[in-house]
Chain A
Amino acid sequence: MNRPELAVVPGVDLQQVRPYGDTLGDGVVQVSFSLPLPACPEAEEAARQLALRMGLEEPQVYHRADLGYGFSFYILYGRCRHAVDVTRTLVPRVQALEASFEEINERLLRVAGRPLRVVGACTGSDAHTVGIDAILNMKGFAGEYGLERYPALRVRNLGAQVTNERLLHEVQATDADVVLVSQVVTQKDVHLSNLAEWVDLVEAAGLRDRLLMACGGPRIRHETALELGFDAGFGPGTTPRQVAAWILSEWERRHPPA
């Protein structure tokens, strides 16, 4: 695959990409970590050997500090011996535009003509609201407002341990436009069967076509979400604004101007 847009630095070899310090190909990286060992020459040597095993050549310990109670801290530099072929790397991404809080609200209200109704829940036995709250709550996440704060969205957060049946009931009762399903803690991939069951339920109810559906959580990837029948999947570090921007993009895609 040819990716000319990635070859910006003169001389860069897209098939052999290494970290860059001050010379192309030098592979320089910095790592810092603690060891459950008191600071001593043996612990420092252990830190160095760990760096070697991480694939760092000529690792140097530049800083060693005893943290007390048997812990010590290290800062190391080394040269990464590995390289990546970026021409073979393709990351599926959620198709959403870059837009500010104000832009998203303004455009959504304009294209939809009303605030969209959003229902969010952490489904199944999962009791962790942390993901759905980070996206929905006023307080938001990573310095960004949650969706409750968006004038263009009317949000209902059902919290955790919501059955798929109850979620469906709420979606119907509120005539929701958008459904956000969170899955945080999971065992033996129960989150996947749970998400698949939700999609089946929605399709059986004949609602799939008019609902925008996304799932999110630490183990969710966009690709997996698409396979399961969602419109988007959001992984760790997703901010509310990214979800809002996706809602806008997806809405615009489905409702092109006449």
Chain B
Amino acid sequence: MRNLLDLDPTVIEECRRLAAEIAREVTGFARARTTTSIERATLRWMGVEGADPEGVPLVNRVVEEARQAGALGLGIAIPFAGAMVRSGLSPQEAAQAIADGRLSLDRPPESLVPKCRSLARDLAEAGARRVQETVRQREQLIRDLGEGPHPLLYVIVASGNIYEDTLQAKVCVQAGAQVIAVIRSTAQSLLDYIPEGATTEGYGGTYATQMNFRIMRQALDEASRTHGRYVRLCNYASGLCMPEMSALGALERLDVMLNDALYGILFRDINMQRTLTDQAFSRRISAAAGIIINTGEDNYLTTADAFEAGHTVLASEFINEQIGLRCGLRPEQLGLGHAMQMNPWQEDMLLWEIAQAQLVREVFPRSPIKYMPPTRYMTGDIFRGHVQDALFNLVSVWTGQGIHLLGMMTEAMHTPHVHDRVLALESARMIQQAARHLEEEVRFQPDGRIQRRAREVLDRAEALLRQVRDRGLFQALAEGVFADIPRSPEGGRGLDGVALREPDYENPVEEVLDRMTDQEGDR
């Protein structure tokens, strides 16, 4: 590990140990519960798609039936397999029949349970084979095409129309983009269902649907071949449908997914019990599908001051890392997030940003750190914005960030226009090339401003982690430790979709996921 900051490894170790204790509480909590979205993800993995004539997804219809019968805590898989066994229908037909009221979802009699269990396992295995095939395809494409220099240049498309998005994405790929993220329609994170089909209208973004995933994947595969570079597709496994989004991402070969319960709790007021439970399952899916997750610490700095709150970002990254590892994610799948959000007029701002960016790199050397561009101090002055983004581009290549989210000069104005993205990509590529080996050539002044700042942030992160460990994450969130936003364990959206697992809860998909990621069941 490169140690340009002269960090004390025992402090980093202590941070990890504290974070691991915090993570254990969270994953233990999650493992004792299930949610409507986890059970819907389970059905999607087992092969159920589509919606009823009113547009309500079949998985919602089936799981809602179980929830209203008070049977959520048993898991959906066995009762659903029971309905299939009784009717002789396929998963899709059975879901349809349950939605139509032609088939009930009663718990099968004890004598039939082994048969149902075996059927459910077969379906879970079939899902696993589909996902493993996507993993194989990705590896093959990266082997054949390569992926271009790092940091990976990540660009957002958000026209609202998936077909328009594919066109814009291709222009981005031509201009050098390596990750295309499709921003979701405003407030999709608060929908407790995933819309169906290809969509051509959205507000501030494009709905994430299975069909839209498929359409964009196909477009990017074409562009990858044309430009000789594998282009990753990114979307959101966040909000109330977090695990389902991961399941769809796994089935449709998404490569990167934003996935952070803390973000939903703080910035979308989603109930913490719900989303932390969802997250554990969702991360297992990402782990099995080779998806890189992106965490949302960068957002803390949009409400809290970046200079004052740098340590909260690092502390949260430690926690997210430990939760992720406990869900089977490898360090290479942890796109921990941070951002360049200091006031551009603050003296030595560039030094403090270099210190923070280098610190995150050195603490998480194997993880593809996601670096977010300035947004907080962006104004309608596009010319100044382009300069702020240039500073960001320099820090990113200098400190070897993993995933570089491109700043747009029109940030805070509108979703980017086609040339906004091309200009941003051009600037990022120019600066990347110009400063390619800067990191190898430059050393920081021992005990100078940058080293002192990095050590201070690390020390404060350790103190904060100890504070969170002593209280537990739930209490810490209630006290507003992160982003200065307090949230209560009973508040927010989605608590009614959480159930304690009954002693005879079964989920064959979870068993398959644990096997795929070499996890022990009780982690």
Most buried by B among A71, A141, A149: A71
Picked from B174, B266, B377, the residue with its CB within 8 Å of the CB of A67 is B174
Question: A67-105 CB contact bits vs B (8 Å, 1 = yes)?
Answer: 111010100000000000000000000000000000000
Tell me the smallest distance from the CB of A160 to a CB of chain B, in Å.
7
Picked from A68, A73, A128, A149, the residue with its CB within 8 Å of the CB of B203 is A128
Q: Is A139 touching B174 in the complex (CB atoms < 8 A)?
A: no
Known: A34-B419, A141-B412, A142-B412. A69 touches B187 (CB 8 A): no
Tell me the smallest distance from the CB of A134 to a CB of chain B, in Å.
10
A-B residue pair count with CB separations less than 8 angstroms = 65
Q: Is A139 touching B267 in the complex (CB atoms < 8 A)?
A: yes
Residues of B within 8 A of A69 (CB): 167, 170-171, 174
Tell me the smallest distance from the CB of B340 to a CB of chain A, in Å.
13
Residues of A within 8 A of B167 (CB): 69
Interface of A is mostly: loop
Question: A27-64 CB contact bits vs B (8 Å, 1 = yes)?
Answer: 00000111000000000000000000000000000000
Taken together as a complex, chains A and B put the C-alpha atoms of A160 and B191 apart, in Å, by 12
A163 within 8 A of B: no
A185 within 8 A of B: yes
Interface residues of A in 121-135 (CB under 8 A from B): 127-130
Q: Is A160 touching B187 in the complex (CB atoms < 8 A)?
A: yes
A19 within 8 A of B: no
Interface residues of B in 277-311 (CB under 8 A from A): 299, 302-303
Residues of B within 8 A of A129 (CB): 186-187
A25 within 8 A of B: no
Q: Is A138 touching B484 in the complex (CB atoms < 8 A)?
A: yes
Taken together as a complex, chains A and B put the C-alpha atoms of A68 and B167 apart, in Å, by 10
B351 within 8 A of A: no
Picked from A67, A138, A142, A145, the residue with its CB within 8 Å of the CB of B422 is A67
A interface bracket (residues with beta carbon within 8 Å of B): 20 to 34
Residues of B within 8 A of A140 (CB): 302-303
B379 within 8 A of A: yes
Residues of B within 8 A of A141 (CB): 412
Taken together as a complex, chains A and B put the C-alpha atoms of A142 and B167 apart, in Å, by 29
Residues of B within 8 A of A237 (CB): 380
Q: Is B380 touching A128 in the complex (CB atoms < 8 A)?
A: no
Question: B134-166 CB contact bits vs A (8 Å, 1 = yes)?
Answer: 000000000000000000000000000000000
Residues of A within 8 A of B363 (CB): none
Known: A67-B422, A68-B170, A130-B186. A143 touches B175 (CB 8 A): no
Taken together as a complex, chains A and B put the C-alpha atoms of A143 and B343 apart, in Å, by 10
Given pairs A67-B418, A138-B266, 8 additional interface contacts (CB within 8 A): A65-B422, A67-B175, A68-B170, A68-B171, A68-B174, A73-B418, A130-B203, A139-B302
30 pairs, A vs B, C-beta closer than 8 Å: A32-B419, A33-B419, A65-B422, A67-B175, A67-B422, A69-B167, A69-B170, A69-B174, A71-B171, A127-B187, A128-B186, A129-B186, A129-B187, A130-B186, A130-B187, A130-B203, A130-B204, A138-B484, A139-B267, A139-B302, A140-B302, A140-B303, A142-B412, A143-B376, A143-B377, A145-B303, A149-B484, A184-B203, A185-B203, A237-B380
Chain A residues near B (Cβ < 8 Å): 32-34, 65, 67-69, 71, 73, 127-130, 137-143, 145, 149, 160, 184-185, 237
Chain B residues near A (Cβ < 8 Å): 167, 170-171, 174-175, 186-187, 203-204, 266-267, 299, 302-303, 375-380, 412, 417-419, 422, 483-485
